[in-house]
Structure 1
């Protein structure tokens, strides 16, 4: 895991990113890509494990699959919004479900954005970068 604070001049600063996806291969690939940008990435494969590390890790960005075993991504998002350490984090739903109802459920659960797989890595990078203002806090 890369713990550098960033990035080359002219690029957005690194973020603490929690990636929650039950597909180990997909999670590993996305994690490696995010780390190439300098982000500090932690990967978990279920909601309970993800929630267990948020107070210590304090992610600024959470990318969460919806179709998780046990606790689905909607429940994870609702719990993250209750916790002081993730109340203001950028929550991204990354899912294969792209219907209007799915998007509405993601918003109601507390996700900031609903992204349908497969995602363009460049689009994901841009979304993360644009979600933070010049003071490095979340743009609301």
Structure 2
């Protein structure tokens, strides 16, 4: 599951992930993603941090508390790259922290380790 309030970024990254064989559900609104997550039970969440209404830290904490979502892989994909930002993402339960623009090869390598592909 991919969540970023930048619709263009969501569209581009979803296309990249789908081309690599992953099934992708994308959302530009954190609350919609939160509502859809239990039924979807994704293997991985890629979340932006700086979103209006609910930041990615809070979204990650809430998702981890939901049934079927606690064991997923959590990846922060954000423009926030300072050491303090990385510490906040770790405290919120993220497994990895990538700064935009993401190195697609590194992101795909992390997903291959934990999230099965559909194809």
TM tier, smaller: over 0.9
**1:5 matched residue in structure 2:** none
Q: Where is the helix percentage greater, Structure 1 or Structure 2?
A: 2
**1:45 matched residue in structure 2:** 28
Structure 1 stretches of at least 4 aligned residues deviating more than 6 Å after TM superposition: none
Give the Cα separation in 2 of the matches to 1:103 and 1:87.
20
**2:10 matched residue in structure 1:** 27
Q: How does 1:87-126 map to 2 (within 5 A)?
A: 87-126=70-109
- If you compute each CA radius of gyration, which structure gives the higher value, 1 or 2? 1
Point out which structure has higher relative CO (alpha carbons under 8 A, 6+ apart).
2
CA drift at 1:47:
1.2
| Length, aligned pairs only | 116
Unaligned stretches of 5+ residues in structure 1: 1-17
